[in-house]
Amino acid sequence: MRRCSGRASGVLLMKTDELRQAYLKFFESKGHKVLPSASLIPAGDPTLLLTAAGMVPFKPYFLGTAKPDHLRATTCQKCVRTGDIENVGRTTRHGTFFEMLGNFSFGDYFKMEAITWGWEFVTRVLGFSPKQLWITIYLDDDEAFEIWNKTVGVPADRIIRKDKKDNFWEIGVGPCGPCSEIHVDRGADVGCGSADCGLDCDCGRFIEIWNLVFIQFHCDEQGNYTPLEHKGIDTGMGLERVAAVLQNVPTIFDTDETRIIRDSAAGLAGVTYGEGGLPDMAVRIIADHVRASVFMVGDGILPTNEGRGYVLRRLLRRAARFGKLIGIKGVFLPRVANAVIDVMRNTYPELADGRERIVRTIQLEEERFLVALDQGSAVLESVIARVQSEGGSCVPGADAFRLYDTFGFPFELTVEIAGERGLTVDQSGFDKAMEAQRERARAARGGNAYLDEASERYHAAIGEATTEFVGYDRLEEQARIIAVIGSDGVAAQALCQGEQGEIVLDRTPFYAASGGQQADTGVIVAGEGGREGDAVGAGAVAQVMGASKPLGDAVVHAVRVTRGSLAVGDVVTARVDEDHRAAIRRNHTATHLLHAALRKVLGSHVQQAGSHVDDERLRFDFSHFEAVGPEQLASVERLANEWTLANVPVDVSLVTLDEAHRMGAMALFDEKYGNLVRAVRVGDVSLELCGGTHVARTGDIGMIKIVSEGGIAAGVRRIEAVTGLGTLDYANRTRSALREVADILKVPEDSLAARVDRLMQDLHDQEREVHRLTQRLAAGSIDSVVAAREMVGDVAVVAAAVEAADAESLRNLADQIRDRLGSGIVLLGAVTGDKLGFVACVTRDLVELGYNAGAIVKEAARAAGGGGGGRPDMAQAGGRDVSKLDAALAAGVEAVRARKAR
C-alpha cells in the first residue's frame, strides 16, 4: 500500500484485496470471528431469491430462531441485487454484483463500539481526514448523535439528521432500527460545482461508504415497535465503492480488479473504454453481468425460466446482446468469464476449481441465446410484413417487447431493422410493457420481509420454542409437548380424537424434512400402553404424518389424533416407524454412492444440483452438459453396486467447517452450515457434509438400480433409482411387462428385440410406400389444379382444397404448384383429422409488389376459426371448423383481390 499523491494525500492507495484483508483483520483484532462468504443462494430462506446483503446469512440470529456460534462476526459477502438491472451500464453507479464488508454483533456490543470502531477504521486504517467525513443519523437518535459528537468529536454541523426513509432500516415484520451512515467528500473538483451541492446531490462528490444499522426494535404486523432485549449491529461497506474512492478513480468500473474484466470485454469488441456512448455502456454491462454470472454459476445456479435461474439467464443474455450491438462476433462470454475467474481466484479459489463447469455453463447459454436471436429475427420479419401488409408505418410496442422478452432481441436492433424498412417502433408501448413486467417482478419478489406468511404464522404460534433432535441415535424418545397448533394454524391447548394439527416436542427422534430427505413417520403416544393395537382407554395416540422445521430449530410434527387427546405439557413417547426410516436410509446413502460414481465416470465437474429421498426411491440431479450414454450409465450403476457389495462402513463424525474443508468434504451450494458439521464418509469412496440419516454399512443398501436418466434443465441431468426390495419390485414389474409383450407377439422373451426390430422395419417400409403413392397421386392432380386457376387482375391465383397426409405433404404440393405457375399465388387447404391446414405461397416477383403469404393465409384461417402466419413468400395456418374449408379459400382469394384493388 502507498499513500495517494493526489488531492486526498492522507488516504491510503489500497488495492481491492488489500482493502478486504484490512477490514477483516481490523475486526478480527476487535474479537470478531472472520467467516467466509456464504452462498448467493440463501440457505433455508424462502423469502429471498438471492443473497443481497451481508446480513442475509445471519437472519436467524437477529430473529432469535437460532443461536450463533460467535457473538461477533465479520465477513466479506458476495451479493447480487437485481432491482435495477436495466440501469446497470447506463450509469456508472449501478451494478448487480458487489462485495459487502460487514461486522455484526448478535446481542453483544452496540452503538458505542460500532461507531467508535467505524471511525477508527476509516481515519486510522484507511487514512481519511476527519475534514472529509460527514455523518447522517436518524431524526431522533440522540444516543448516536452524542457518541458521534461528544465521544468521537465530529462537529455538530457535520452530523445530519434524516427521516425514516433514509436512516431507518426495516423490511416488514421483524427486527429493525435506526442507522447511521459515513459519507466521504471527494472534493469540489469532483462534483457539480453548485453552491447547493451536498449529501443529497448525485453528482458523485459525496459518497456513502458505510452504513451502521442499530437493530434495537421489533416491528409487529400492526407497525408497533418494541425494544429488543438483545440488541444487534449490522453494518455494510460496499467494497468496490470504497476501493474506487481509495484508488482515486471515478467509478466502480475503474478499480484494479474490475478494470481488468472491463478491459477484457473492451478488447473483444475492439473498442477503447472511456470514449463514451454505446461502447462504454455495453462494456460496463458485459463486465458486471459476467462477473455476477460467474459467481452465480459457481454457487450452483443454472439458467432457467424461473426464480434465480431466470435472473442468471437474463444477465447472460443481456450481456451477450450488448456485445452484439458493439460488433462482437460469435460466442464471447466464456472468454470474459475466464478473465473474471483469473482476477477473483485468489480470494475465491472455488472459482478456479469449478472453472470448467462455470465456463461451459455460460458458453451453452450464450449458444442458446444466439439461436433464439435468429428465431427473433424471423419473428421480426413476420411482424414487419404484417405491418406493411396492413398499410401501417409503426411496429407496435407490444410486438417489440415480445421480441425483447421472449427472444432476447434488443429493442435497439428492432428499431434499426424496422428503420431500414421505412418503419418506426412504438417506444411508449414498449416502455409500458416493460414497466408492467417490472411490476410483476416486484410483486413476485414480495416485500422482502424477514419472515414469509407461513413463518409469521408459526412465529405467532410457537414463539421461540426449540426442539432437540435425538433421532441419529435412537428411534424412540420420551418427550414433552411444548406447543400445539390447530388445523386453522392458530396455537391451541390440545388436539382431540379425529382432529389434525401440529405438535412441537422438546425432544424428538423424528427427522424433519430437509436437505432433500423426506420426513419420518410414526406415532406419538401418551398414557399407559398407548401402542396402536392397545385397547381403547389405554392412552392417547397420534399418527405422525411428517415433520418439518419451518422456523429455527423447532420441529413441527404434522399429526392426526386417532385416540384420546394430546395437550400442551403432556409427557409422551415419540416413536419413529423403523421400516420407513430404514428404507430412507438406504436410498440416502445410495445417493452419495451414485454421486461419487458419476464423478468418477463422467468427471469432477459433476456437482449435485438437487435431490429427493423417500422410502420408495431416490432422485438425484447433477450438473452435466450432455446426455449420459448407456455405457456410461451402466458403468455408474455397476460401480455403485460394487461399493455396495464391498460392505464398507459408513462413518459419521462431527467436525468444524474448516476441518471438513481440509478433509476435502463436498458441500452443497444451498445448504447452511454451522461451525460444527456432520461429515459422512463412505469408506474411501465418498466424503460429504450431510445432515441426513444413513445406513451403518453399504451392504445394508442391498442393490442399487437406476430406473431413468434424462435432462431437466440446461446443463442439469436427473437420475432416478431404487434400492433394497425396491429393486426386486422393479425387476418383477419389468419381467412381467416383457412376458406380456412376448405373449402378444407370440415369441420367446429372448427373441423380443429381433421381432420388434422387424416389425418397425415393416412399418417404416409401408409408410414410405404410402408416402410415395400419395406423392404420385398429388403430382397427377397438379395439372388440373393449375388449369383451374383464376386471374385476379393480372395475378394468377390457385385456391384449392386438396388431400394431404400432413403439413409437410401440403407444403410440398404447394411448392410444386408455385413452381409450375412461374408467377402467381397458391393457397391450399386440406382436412387433417378434425382440423384444417392451410399453406400459402407467393412467388418472388409478387412479394416485391407487396403481396404477402402471411396476410393471405391469416384471412383464410380466420374464416375457419383459426389463425397463423409466416414469411411474405410462404406461410402456414390452421383452422378449427372443417365445414368452412371452401369459405376459407374464398376469403384468401378476397385478400388477394383487396390487395390488388389498392
Give pLDDT tens digits for 278-317: 999 999 999 999 999 999 999 989 888 778 888 898 899 8
With beta carbons less than 8 A apart as the criterion, state whether 883 and 833 touch: no
Give pLDDT tens digits for 437-483: 777 665 554 444 555 566 777 877 887 788 999 999 999 999 999 99
3-state secondary structure of 239: helix
With both helix axes pointing from N to C terminus, report the angle between 853-863 and 355-389 in degrees, rounded to the nearest 10: 80
pLDDT value of position 13: 78
Rounded distance between C-alpha atoms, residue 273 and residue 285, angstroms: 12
Cα dist. 563→532, 539, 572 in Å?
Answer: 9, 7, 14
pLDDT, averaged across the chain: 88
pLDDT value of position 4: 46
C-alpha torsion 396→401→403→407, nearest 10? -170
pLDDT value of position 446: 47
884 grid coordinates: 368452412
Task: Tell which residue, 692, 882, 901, has the closest CA to residue 793.
Answer: 901
The backbone region for 862, taken as left when phi is positive above 0, alpha when psi lies in -120 to 50, beta otherwise, is alpha
* Residue whose C-alpha cell reads 405467532 in the numeric block: 460
pLDDT value of position 673: 63
Cα of first residue to Cα of last residue in the chain, in angstroms, is 77
Task: Tell which residue, 307, 156, 184, 294, has the closest CA to residue 243.
Answer: 184
Burial of residue 249 (CB within 10 Å: 0-12, 13-18, 19+) is middle
Residues of the chain with pLDDT under 50: 2-10, 445-448, 529-537
Cα dist. 188→196, 209, 250 in Å?
Answer: 12, 18, 14
- Which residues is 12 bridged to in the sheet? 3
What backbone phi and psi angles, to 5 degrees, belong to 540? -85, 145
With beta carbons less than 8 A apart as the criterion, state whether 216 and 173 touch: no
Rounded distance between C-alpha atoms, residue 680 and residue 589, angstroms: 9
Rounded distance between C-alpha atoms, residue 707 and residue 723, angstroms: 10
With both helix axes pointing from N to C terminus, report the angle between 355-389 and 307-325 in degrees, rounded to the nearest 10: 70
With beta carbons less than 8 A apart as the criterion, state whether 704 and 730 touch: no
Which H/E stretch holds residue 633? helix 630-645
- For CA atoms 508, 510, 513, 517, the dihedral sign is positive
- For CA atoms 842, 848, 854, 857, the dihedral sign is negative
With beta carbons less than 8 A apart as the criterion, state whether 526 and 571 touch: yes
pLDDT value of position 529: 45
Rounded distance between C-alpha atoms, residue 405 and residue 382, angstroms: 17
Relative to beta strand 867-870, strand 874-879 is antiparallel
840 grid coordinates: 400459402
pLDDT value of position 201: 85
Relative to beta strand 159-162, strand 133-138 is parallel
DSSP single-letter state for residue 649: B
pLDDT value of position 780: 60
Cβ partners under 8 Å of residue 300, min gap 6: 39, 41, 607, 609, 623, 668, 669, 670
pLDDT value of position 5: 37
